[in-house]
Amino acid sequence: MDLATSRKALMTSEKITVALIATYPAMSRAMAQLVEGTNIQLLDIYASFEQAAEEAKRIEAEVDVILTRGGTGRFVKNAASIPVISIPITPFDLTLSVSDLPAEYKRVAFCNYQRAIFGTEQIGELFGKKIFQYLFTNQAELRQAANEAKADGCQVFIGGAEGISYARELGMEGIEIVSGREAIYQALTEAIAIIQVKREERKQSTRLKIAFDSLAEGICITDERGTISVFNPAAAGIFKLNHQQLVGENIHDISIGDRALTALHQQKPELNQLERAWNITLSTNHIPIYMDQNFIGLVSTFQDVTKIQQLEGQIRRQLNQKGFQAKYTFDSIIGSTHAMETAKKLAALYAQTDSSVLIEGESGTGKELFAHSIHSASPRSVGPFVTVNCAAIPEQLLESELFGYAPGAFTGARREGKQGLFELAHNGTIFLDEIGEMPKYLQSRLLRVLQEKEVMRVGDDKIISVNCRVISATNKDLGTLVSKGEFREDLYYRLNIFNVKVPPLRDRREDIPLLCEHFLEGMGISSHAIGIKKSVDEQLKRLRGYRWPGNVRELSSVCARIALLQTAGQGEEARQYLRMVIDSYVSAARDTVSLDIEANLPLKGAMEEAEQQYISAILERCGNNRTLASKQLGIGRTTLWRRYAEGEEERGI
């Protein structure tokens, strides 16, 4: 191979520093010629044997590899911690050395370090000479080889510098064998390959170290005897140890849990274990390592359960930031009547427990406000609050929304699967609104969640533990649905551990002025500022007979109409608009009468009470005009007066 081709083959993408410990000057010149114009930087040193070893120690931090030859290489390899490549003696090198010998030299000694060269006999015959080959591994053997060559009648000694020095002392001609450019090229090629492999191994080792060091999970890797090769900072932090000092130690001498020793001795995995070590509770996995069916070590992982819980809490807080949080407290619930105060006190009491709560009430009474408030006042308030309207989600989707689904569970499912709302509510509260609308087949799955505290995603076979409180609400009589077989009795009792009944608006009419003021101010309208507070109060008195079937939600709509219409005018004009709003509700109120009768009265007493309440309501609607009232009731004025007076007397009025 010519010089230009050799240099091209030695080109590398990265810079390489090579030290050549030469035993003769020509070696340095040949090396310099080969590396010229390449990325190989040459450090040239002339030394041999013990002196070469000292030089190797001095320079090894500055170079990637050391090249030398023969016995000198043995001394260098014993001293240096970096790769050492020996430049070989080739048959071609021996041929060149023999070809230059005078014809009178018939017996030739060739002495080489450790490795014999095949074909010496043929080389000798080629030039009419007999070649005697000697091997050595140290200086004593080298001197012995020179003595043997003298005894064998050799006239010339071919070898290294030290060998020919001994030969000359014995009267023989000494010829130093020269490693040709081909041998140096082969050594350089081998050196480059070794350096590239070592650099790649170093890169891989660095990547793995950074990966292990960056893990929040503790990692410990041992060999088959338990000697530690990896102990990352996370593991050191868990056990409060120095991870750098632990490499090389044995896990029999460091207490990292009994399960690790069990897995090491039995060579079997110990998975998903809870262990107590160093006064902390750990979640651990210990997995044996096998290569070609032979046990070669153990990898153990550790997680501090407390840290896991903190991380889980952080995740839940992030979910809260995405909208899974309660928006209301008990201060958000407007009302001072006895019925409302009782409901709020009971709900606040139930909030301190972890049991299920069933909130009952007509549509529009504010059941969701109570659910939000219970969560906000509970120990779970830092966790997520997930709302599900069982009536708003199509029946065929409700199951996958509640419990989630596995990847590819059904057509149109997300490729990665989806968390269910119960999972999202972990360590918090899930509010199941309109629970009476839940299909019966889903009621069974919900019951299992309540009983076992675990869910299984649709299309999956893995169990997921969940810890969430269930608050449910309904505007139906679940007891009646149970008796009809439309709602599971066992689920009903699971949901109805604590019960809150939200009163309808007609049973707390005294709260209407407060609610109106709250709604109007929320719409940016101050009843005081627009001068209609007195008018609002007067008009609302006309609605005493209105039953408010939409409850507080309907009252909010009325206030929205008031807020809109009042912008069309001020003063008397605004009051006229207000009367327009109320008139439609008054006409509806005239069509019905609300009666409030105690349930413990006998039939006769109940009928008498109903009669008195009905007479009072009609009189009020007729503006206490007895003629109009008696006409509407179909009785005479005298009879009306008598029955009304008797009722007042019985009530002590």
Question: For position 251, which CATH number holds?
Answer: 3.30.450.20
Please answer whether residues 590 and 547 qualify as being in contact, where contact means their C-beta atoms are separated by less than 8 angstroms: no
Is residue 177 within a helix (H) or strand (E), and if so which, with residue range? none
* 64, 189, 200, 355 from 196: Cα distances, Å: 10, 11, 6, 66
Residue with token string 């007979």: 545
Residue 200 domain flag: no
User: Which CATH number belongs to the domain containing residue 418 in this structure?
Assistant: 3.40.50.300
Higher pLDDT: 440 or 544? It is 440
Please answer whether residues 423 and 466 qualify as being in contact, where contact means their C-beta atoms are separated by less than 8 angstroms: yes
pLDDT of residue 240: 82
Residue 201 domain flag: no
The domain in which residue 638 lies consists of 603-650
Bridge partner residues of 293 (DSSP): none
* 493 and 386 together in one domain: yes
Residue with token string 């140096």: 184
* 486 and 348 together in one domain: yes
Angstrom distance (rounded) from CA 548 to CA 594: 10
* 358 and 488 together in one domain: yes
Please answer whether residues 226 and 252 qualify as being in contact, where contact means their C-beta atoms are separated by less than 8 angstroms: yes
Token pair belonging to 400: 């996958």
List Cβ neighbours of 541 (8 Å cut-off, separation of 6 or more): none
Bridge partner residues of 280 (DSSP): 277
pLDDT in tens, 258-311: 888 999 999 999 888 888 776 777 888 999 999 999 999 999 998 887 766 665
* 349 and 487 together in one domain: yes
Residue 60 domain flag: yes
Choice among 17-21, 48-52, 449-453, 508-512 with the minimum mean pLDDT = 48-52
Q: If you ran DSSP here, which 8-state letter would residue 489 be given?
A: H
pLDDT of residue 50: 75
pLDDT of residue 568: 58
Angstrom distance (rounded) from CA 374 to CA 369: 9
Angstrom distance (rounded) from CA 497 to CA 410: 36
List Cβ neighbours of 46 (8 Å cut-off, separation of 6 or more): 21, 22, 23, 25, 28
Picking from 308, 256, 253, the residue whose alpha carbon sits closest to that of residue 285 is 256
pLDDT in tens, 376-404: 999 999 888 999 998 888 777 888 888 88
Domain boundary among 278, 306, 334: 306
Choice among 97-101, 332-336, 569-573 with the minimum mean pLDDT = 569-573
Is residue 5 within a helix (H) or strand (E), and if so which, with residue range? helix 3-9
Residue 593's identity, in one-letter code, is V
How far is Cα of residue 176 from the mean position of the Cα atoms in its chain? 69
Residue 597 domain flag: no
* pLDDT surpassing 90 at residue 132: yes
pLDDT of residue 538: 66
Please answer whether residues 599 and 561 qualify as being in contact, where contact means their C-beta atoms are separated by less than 8 angstroms: no
Choice among 46-55, 207-216, 293-302 with the minimum mean pLDDT = 46-55
* 421 and 515 together in one domain: no
Interval 552-567 mean pLDDT: 78
**Buried b / exposed e along 247-269 (16+ C-beta atoms within 10 A):** eeeebeeeebbebbbebbeeeee
* pLDDT surpassing 50 at residue 530: no
User: Which CATH number belongs to the domain containing residue 646 in this structure?
Assistant: 1.10.10
Residue 114's identity, in one-letter code, is Q
* 232 and 339 together in one domain: no
Token pair belonging to 534: 């007195």
Angstrom distance (rounded) from CA 577 to CA 220: 79
* pLDDT surpassing 90 at residue 134: yes
pLDDT band at 470 (very low <50, low <70, confident <90, very high): very high
Interval 67-79 mean pLDDT: 82
Is residue 368 within a helix (H) or strand (E), and if so which, with residue range? helix 367-376
pLDDT of residue 153: 94
Picking from 548, 582, 585, 578, the residue whose alpha carbon sits closest to that of residue 563 is 578
pLDDT band at 72 (very low <50, low <70, confident <90, very high): confident
* 342 and 487 together in one domain: yes
Angstrom distance (rounded) from CA 131 to CA 143: 18
Please answer whether residues 144 and 163 qualify as being in contact, where contact means their C-beta atoms are separated by less than 8 angstroms: no
Choice among 119-128, 201-210, 253-262 with the minimum mean pLDDT = 253-262
Angstrom distance (rounded) from CA 445 to CA 399: 9
Residue with token string 């039939």: 603
| Cα torsion angle, 52, 55, 59, 61, sign | positive
3-class state of residue 108 by DSSP: strand
Token pair belonging to 23: 């035993």
* 244 and 141 together in one domain: no
Residue 364 Rama label (left phi>0; alpha psi -120 to 50; beta): left
* Mean predicted lDDT score pLDDT of the chain: 83
Interval 496-504 mean pLDDT: 94
Q: How many domains does the chain have?
A: 6
Choice among 12-16, 75-79, 562-566 with the minimum mean pLDDT = 562-566
Residue 348 domain flag: yes
* 364 and 297 together in one domain: no
pLDDT in tens, 299-314: 999 888 776 666 555 5
* pLDDT surpassing 80 at residue 581: no
* pLDDT surpassing 70 at residue 572: no
List Cβ neighbours of 13 (8 Å cut-off, separation of 6 or more): 39
Residue 73's identity, in one-letter code, is G
Secondary structure (DSSP) of 401-465: HHH-B-TTSSTT--TT-B--HHHHTTTSEEEEETGGGS-HHHHHHHHHHHHHSEEE-BT---EEE
* pLDDT surpassing 90 at residue 133: yes
pLDDT band at 375 (very low <50, low <70, confident <90, very high): very high
pLDDT band at 598 (very low <50, low <70, confident <90, very high): low
* pLDDT surpassing 90 at residue 157: yes
pLDDT of residue 624: 77
Interval 342-365 mean pLDDT: 93
pLDDT in tens, 21-40: 887 777 888 888 888 888 88
Residue 209 domain flag: no
pLDDT of residue 569: 56
User: Which CATH number belongs to the domain containing residue 64 in this structure?
Assistant: 3.40.50.2300
Angstrom distance (rounded) from CA 502 to CA 362: 8
Percentage with pLDDT > 90 across the chain:
28
Picking from 20, 26, 19, the residue whose alpha carbon sits closest to that of residue 176 is 26
**Buried b / exposed e along 132-144 (16+ C-beta atoms within 10 A):** bbbebeeeeebbe
- The pTM of the full predicted model, rounded to 2 decimals, is 0.49
* 511 and 578 together in one domain: yes
Is residue 17 within a helix (H) or strand (E), and if so which, with residue range? strand 16-22
* Phi then psi dihedrals of residue 362, to 5 deg: -70, 165
pLDDT in tens, 608-619: 888 887 887 777
How many other β-carbons are positioned within 10 Å of the β-carbon of residue 118? 8
* 273 and 157 together in one domain: no
Residue 484 domain flag: yes
User: Which CATH number belongs to the domain containing residue 149 in this structure?
Assistant: 3.40.50.10660
Choice among 62-66, 129-133, 308-312, 535-539 with the minimum mean pLDDT = 308-312
Residue 317 domain flag: no
* 291 and 229 together in one domain: yes
Please answer whether residues 364 and 552 qualify as being in contact, where contact means their C-beta atoms are separated by less than 8 angstroms: yes
Angstrom distance (rounded) from CA 155 to CA 171: 8
pLDDT band at 242 (very low <50, low <70, confident <90, very high): confident
Residue 567 Rama label (left phi>0; alpha psi -120 to 50; beta): alpha
